[in-house]
Structure 1
Amino acid sequence: MPLNNQDKATVLRDILSSHQTDCCGSVAECEQVERIVKSLMAHTGINQNVKDILQEIYYYGQHGAQSADLDNHIVMNQGHLQNWVDEIDQFSTKL
């Protein structure tokens, strides 16, 4: 069964929250972040502010997947992670 946009936002939030809490993650999670964000951005009714946030998250996932030290990448983005989780909480109900 395919995920709807709210389900995708929930999965995205869970991955980012886990990274923020645990200060570690996997390349597969970063790649999943990229795929989810691409899918959400394809949604035509999404506003520009949400697209900007999703673009930041996409770059986070992309750089994480390519990072030689993923845990350090996650630690360096701790401030962003909490903000993104909060933003997803706000916009996920509007998807």
Structure 2
Amino acid sequence: MPLSHQDQLYIMADILNNHHIDCTGTLSECQQIQRLASALQQNADVAPEIKEVLRQIEEYSTAGAHETDLLIHIETHRPNLSQWVDTINHYQ
């Protein structure tokens, strides 16, 4: 059974929240966030108001997947992470 867009948003928010709270993450998490953000941007059931945030999240995760020091990348984006999670939670 495929994940609904609501499930995908929940997973994405959970990972991003962990990045924000723990200030740590993995390459595979960045890749998963990237895939989710890309899929959600193409999904017509996702509120148009969240599409820009999904684009920003995709950029964050794409860059994070190529960072030599992922922890610095996460720390740099920490303010954005909490805003993104709040936005996702609002539209779930």
Q: Normalised by the size of structure 2, how large is the TM-score?
A: 0.95
Partner of 2:66: 66
Matches of 1:4 and 1:49 in 2, distance apart?
18
Secondary structure at the aligned position of 1:33 is classed as helix
Partner of 2:8: 8
Structure 1 segments of 4+ aligned residues over 2 angstroms from their partners: 45-49
Matches of 1:25 and 1:45 in 2, distance apart?
29
Q: Normalised by the size of structure 1, how large is the TM-score?
A: 0.92
Alpha carbon RMSD of aligned pairs, Å? Answer: 1.0
Aligned length: 92
Q: Confirm whether residue 81 of structure 1 aligns to residue 75 of structure 2.
A: no
Contact map agreement 2:47 2:91 (CA 8 A) in 1: no
Matches of 1:45 and 1:89 in 2, distance apart?
16
Identity across aligned pairs (percent)? 35
Partner of 1:42: 42
1:2-32 CA-to-partner distances (Å, cap 9, x unmatched) read 1110000000000000000110100000000
Secondary structure at the aligned position of 2:90 is classed as helix
1:29-54 CA-to-partner distances (Å, cap 9, x unmatched) read 00000100111111124344311010
Secondary structure at the aligned position of 2:68 is classed as coil
Matches of 1:15 and 1:48 in 2, distance apart?
22
Q: Which runs of 5+ in 2 are unaligned?
A: none
Q: Which runs of 5+ in 1 are unaligned?
A: none
